[in-house]
Amino acid sequence: MLLGIGGGLIETPNLGHPEVEAASHKKSTHKRAKRKTKANKKTKKRKKTSKAKKSKNLLKVDVKSSTENAKRKLITQNHQVPEATYYIAINNDKDYQATLAAIEAWNKTGVIKFKETTDSKNAYVYIHNANYGDTSWAGKEITYTNRRNRNEHRSEIRINDYFTQKVSNYITMAVIEHELGHSIGLMHIDSQPSVMNSVVDPSTTVYTIQPIDIEMVRQLYDEK
């Protein structure tokens, strides 16, 4: 989740010349400003058109995740592999089945264990869905840090039905696998095939969990 920071308006005193001189430049300054505004509008329009063409088939998996620099220390590590509890609050069967499949896929890797809990407040990962509209992201992971203990985290995964209801179950599962990867601390990987690729293109290959993803979890939790 990105939060904007609003700024205040700072008024500064007039440090120029007297009003007579300011008035003599008003007309020419106005014309230059008008030409500059038109030029800026044309440039922005070209950039917008170019960007739209380039990203027509690309679906952003998520915005920059807040998990991209931390090991999830709240995950239990007193077992052979790290464990993380999860709670699913999903209201349609497609997203629900895709979520179960994504969790099973991660569990089969043997490097992480997701365990279901009936206590939503204490679950490490809270997964839910909604129609967030044409946001450009199909899934988003948000990590919350305990202010009193910065080593404690909770993870929220949002599934955007605006997109997932239009794509295959396989792609939906891959999106959720990606967000679960963020939940346990993985960063984006765009240098090679990975479930952690930052965008998916439904017209080409969409990757589920790859060997590089398993290796990154091992390194993250110092698994041998």
Reported as a single tens digit per residue, the pLDDT across 161-195 is: 999 999 999 999 999 999 999 999 999 999 999 99
Tell whether the model's pLDDT for residue 59 goes beyond 80. no
**pLDDT for position 136:** 84
pTM: 0.70
What's the rounded mean pLDDT across residues 127-141? 94
Evaluate whether residue 24 is within a structural domain.
Answer: no
Evaluate whether residue 4 is within a structural domain.
Answer: no
Evaluate whether residue 143 is within a structural domain.
Answer: yes
Evaluate whether residue 103 is within a structural domain.
Answer: yes
Q: Which of 56, 98, 125, 97 is nearest to 208 (CA)?
A: 98
Cβ atoms within 10 Å, residue 142: 19
- At 148, the amino acid letter reads R
Angle (nearest 5°) at CA 153 between 208 and 117: 70
Q: Please give the Cα distance from 165 to 163 (Å, whole number).
A: 5
Q: Which of 157, 153, 127 is nearest to 73 (CA)?
A: 153
Q: Please give the Cα distance from 82 to 72 (Å, whole number).
A: 10
Evaluate whether residue 88 is within a structural domain.
Answer: yes
Looking only at Cα atoms, what is the longest distance across the chain? 81
**Rounded percentage of the chain residues whose pLDDT exceeds 70:** 62
Comparison of pLDDT for 41 and 134, the residue scoring more = 134
Q: Please give the Cα distance from 131 to 135 (Å, whole number).
A: 10
Evaluate whether residue 198 is within a structural domain.
Answer: yes
Contacts of 84 (CB under 8 A, 6+ apart): 72, 75, 76, 112, 113, 114, 115, 124, 125, 183, 184
Element (H, E) at 174: helix 169-183
Least confident of 3-12, 40-49, 81-90: 3-12
Tell whether the model's pLDDT for residue 21 goes beyond 60. no
Question: How far does CA 143 lie from the centroid of its chain?
Answer: 11
**pLDDT for position 57:** 55
Total count of residues recorded for the chain: 224
Comparison of pLDDT for 109 and 47, the residue scoring more = 109
Identify the three-state secondary structure at position 194: coil
* Residue-averaged pLDDT of the chain: 74
Dihedral-angle region of residue 185 (phi above 0 means left; psi in -120 to 50 means alpha; beta otherwise):
left
Evaluate whether residue 106 is within a structural domain.
Answer: yes
Confidence band for 4, pLDDT divided at 50, 70 and 90? very low
- Number of domains forming the structure of the chain: 1
Tell whether the model's pLDDT for residue 2 goes beyond 80. no
User: CATH number, domain at 152?
Assistant: 3.40.390.10
**pLDDT for position 76:** 59
Dihedral of alpha carbons 130, 155, 111, 68, sign: positive
The whole domain housing 130 covers 62-220
Q: Which of 186, 222, 192, 223 is nearest to 207 (CA)?
A: 192
Evaluate whether residue 186 is within a structural domain.
Answer: yes
Tell whether the model's pLDDT for residue 88 goes beyond 80. yes
DSSP states of 145-165 as a string?
E-SS-TT-EEEEEEEEHHHHT
Q: pLDDT tens digits for 142-157?
A: 988 777 766 667 899 9
